[in-house]
A and B are shown apart, each in its own frame.
Chain A
C-alpha cells in the first residue's frame, strides 16, 4: 500500500494519464458523470456515485456492429475497424465494481461477446471506498463491502491522504509505472477509516434487505404470486431503472439507413418497454405487469438460478433514486418478504 497527500491527487491523475486514458467522476449540470481526465478536471470526490453506472466503459450504450452497402440485389458488408484503447476508470464504487463480475457472467459466457471482452481486457478499474454510504445504499445485502472495494486497484481517501492498493496483476503493472509519486505507508493506517464505513453500513435502512423469499421459493410460485397484481401499478414503463442499472444488460440490434449505407448497431434496451418482446404474431408480455415482473424475476430469481445463487443486483441504489414513481427493487423485495 502507498499513500499521497490528497491535495496532490492531480499528480496521481497526471501520472496515470501518461500511461493510459483516464476517466474520473466529475460534477456536470448537477449530476455526476465520468469524464476523460485533462488538467482542468476536478474530481468529484465528495459525491457518492455517478448518475449512470460505469457499465458504459465495457458495454457502451451504442456499439457499431457493421455497415451494409446495397447495390441492386447484392449486399456489401463493411466491417467496422475499431481501435480499443487501454484505459483506467478512477473512483468506481464497490457496487459497480461487483457489477462487472455479474456482467462477465453474461458477456463472457460462451460464446463470448467480443466487444465486451476486448474492453474488459483493456480496462483497469480503480475503485474508491465509500466514505459516506447513504440511505438508499444496500450493497451490503449482497455481501459487498464498500470499505474494502474490489477492482484492479482500491483507493481510500482519509485524513488528508489518498491510499492506493493494487489487487490484481493489471493493478500491479499500473502501480509499477507510477509508484515514484507515492510515499510509503503502514498497512494499518486506514483500519479506523474502514471501521467507520462499516459502522455506517450497519445502520443503513435497507442494508439487511431480506431476500429469503426469492432464495427459497420456486420460480413458478413467485411468478404466479398475487403480489405482482398490485405492485407494478405505478410503473410507467419509462425504462429509467434499466438505464441507470449497473447490471441490466439487455440490448437491441437495429439498423439505421444513412442514405449511403445501412449501419447496424446494438444499443441498450429495456425489458420494461412494451415492444421488447413484441412479435409479428403477438406479445407474451402484454401488460406492464408482465414486464415489471420480468425485471425483478430476472434479477432475484432467474439470474441466481443460472449463476450459483448470485443476484443480478448490487444495491447501488440508483433505481431507488431515479424512479419517477418511487418503485424499486427494495419495494419489491419488501413486498414479498411480508407475503
Chain B
C-alpha cells in the first residue's frame, strides 16, 4: 500500500450552525456516496486549495452509511475559511487516518462513561452513535458533557431529541456559568464528574480542552479509576497523516499513526510535550 497525499473532492451538502463558533459540515463524494469508510475516533485531512490542509476528527458514526460529518470550531485560517463557505462548495478530503477507539475489543460489553468538554464532543460523538447503533454489544452508557454556556453545547438538538430519549443512556449536561433559560447543572466538568460518583468499573472515553482533560483525569483517579480504564484522543499539528512528515510526535509515538486514541496509562509513559 502507498500513500500519495493526493486528496479527492468532497462536496459539502449541509452546514449546520451548532454554536456561535462551531459548525457541522456534511460531506459526500461527487458521486453522492461516502468518501471512504472509517472507524470511530479516526480522522480525515480536509483542505481548501491555497488556504490550508488540516486534520479533523470524523464526527459522524461509521454506522451512518450516507455521509460523513465534521464538527469544526472556528479558530485558525482554514477553519475561518470553512465557516464562510456555503452549501454545495467542494473541498478536498483524504483519509481515514490513525487508530480508533477499541469498539470491537476492549469496549465491548463494558459500561461506558463518555466525558466531553466543548468541541471535545466531536470525536466522541462518532463513538457514542456507533455504540447506540450497536446497543446490544455494550453495557450502560453515561454521557457527561459540558461547555461554557447553553449556546456552546455542540449539536444540542441531537443530544436532547435522541440521546436522552434512549433507554440505558443517561445524559448529564453542565455549563460553566448560570444563564437564563437553563435549569440544568452549573459547574465545570471535572467537579460534576466527581459529584455524580460513578461506579469505578466503567470504561471512560474522555475528550476536551487539555486543562479539562487534566483535571477530569485527576478526579477520576481520586474516585478510584485506573488510568488504564481511560481513553482519550489527541490532536497535534499534522501534515502527512502517515507518520512520515515528522511533526506530531509525542516522544517516540506519532499521534497521526499510533494515535490519535491513547489509553491514559500509555500516554503517561510518554514525555510531557503536548
Which residues of A are interface residues toward B (Cβ below 8 A)? 65-66, 68, 70, 73-75, 77, 79, 106-107, 109-115, 117, 219-220, 223-224, 249-253, 255, 257, 262, 264, 266, 269, 271, 276-281, 284-285, 290, 294, 297-298, 301-303, 305-306
Contacts and interface: CB of A to CB of B under 8 A. Distances in A.
Contacts of A280: 75-77, 79
B42 to A, nearest CB: 15
Interface string B206-218: 0000000000000
B273 interface: yes
B236 A219 contact: no
A115 to B, nearest CB: 8
Contacts of B240: 251, 253
Contact of A298 (B1, B7, B249): B249
B80 to A, nearest CB: 9
A276 B247 contact: yes
Contact of B252 (A111, A281, A301): A301
B6 A73 contact: no
B90 interface: yes
Interface stretch (B47-55, B144-152, B162-170): B47-55
Nearest to B92: A75
A297 B86 CA distance: 45
Given A219-B271, A280-B75, 5 more contacts: A114-B2, A220-B251, A224-B271, A253-B239, A280-B76
Nearest to B85: A73
A111 B256 CA distance: 13
A219 B252 contact: yes
How would you classify the secondary structure of chain B's contact residues: helix, strand, loop or mixed?
A: loop
How would you classify the secondary structure of chain A's contact residues: helix, strand, loop or mixed?
A: mixed
Contact of B49 (A264, A271, A301): A264
B247 A277 contact: yes
B89 interface: yes
B1 A77 contact: no
A105 B133 CA distance: 40
Given A219-B252, A220-B270, A280-B75, A271 B3 contact: no
Interface of B: 1-9, 49-53, 75-77, 79, 86, 88-92, 235-237, 239-240, 242-249, 251-252, 269-274
B247 A250 contact: yes
Contacts of B50: 68, 70, 255, 257, 262
A246 B251 CA distance: 22
A111 B5 CA distance: 11
B55 to A, nearest CB: 10
Given A279-B237, A302-B249, A251 B244 contact: yes
A214 B270 CA distance: 16
A109 B4 contact: no
B2 to A, nearest CB: 4
